[in-house]
Amino acid sequence: MARERCYKDVLPFTAMAATQFANVGLNIVFKEATLKGMSYYIFITYSFVVGTLLLLPLSFLFPRAAVLPPLKFHILSRIFLLGLTGCLAQIFAYKGIGNSSPTLASAMSNLTPAFTFILAVLFR
C-alpha cells in the first residue's frame, strides 16, 4: 500500500521531468540536424512518424473497455484542429530555433500550460 502511494505521489513529477528532458534533447538534436542541412519540415515529419510508431502499439496493448461514441463531423473537426495546432506550433518553434538557440526554445516551451488553458476554454 505504501509503495502504491509512493507511485501516485512520485510518478507525475517523474513524468514531468522526463518530458522536459525529452524536449530539451529534441531541441538540441533539431539544432544539430538543421546545422547539417536537414529541412525543418522533414524533421517534423520524422518526429511525427517516430511518435506514431511509439504510440500506436500502446493502443493495441491497452484497449478501451468502454464503447466510444460515433465520430461526427464536429468531433472530427476538433481533432483535426488540435492536430493542426500541434503541427503549426512545432513548425513555428523549429523555425524560431533556427534563428536562436535551443535554450530559448526550451524556455518558450514553458508557455505550453497557458496555451493548453486557452484551448480548453475555447473548446469547452
Long-range contacts of 23-30 (CB under 8 A, 24+ apart): 23/106, 23/109, 24/102, 24/106, 27/97, 27/102, 27/105, 27/106, 28/102, 30/94, 30/97, 30/102
Q: Provide the residue-wise pLDDT of the chain in tens; the chain has 124 residues.
A: 566 776 777 888 888 888 888 878 887 888 888 889 988 889 888 888 998 899 899 888 888 778 888 889 999 999 899 889 888 988 887 787 777 776 776 777 777 788 888 988 998 8
Domain that holds residue 60: 2-122
Global pTM?
Answer: 0.63
Q: How many domains does the chain have?
A: 1
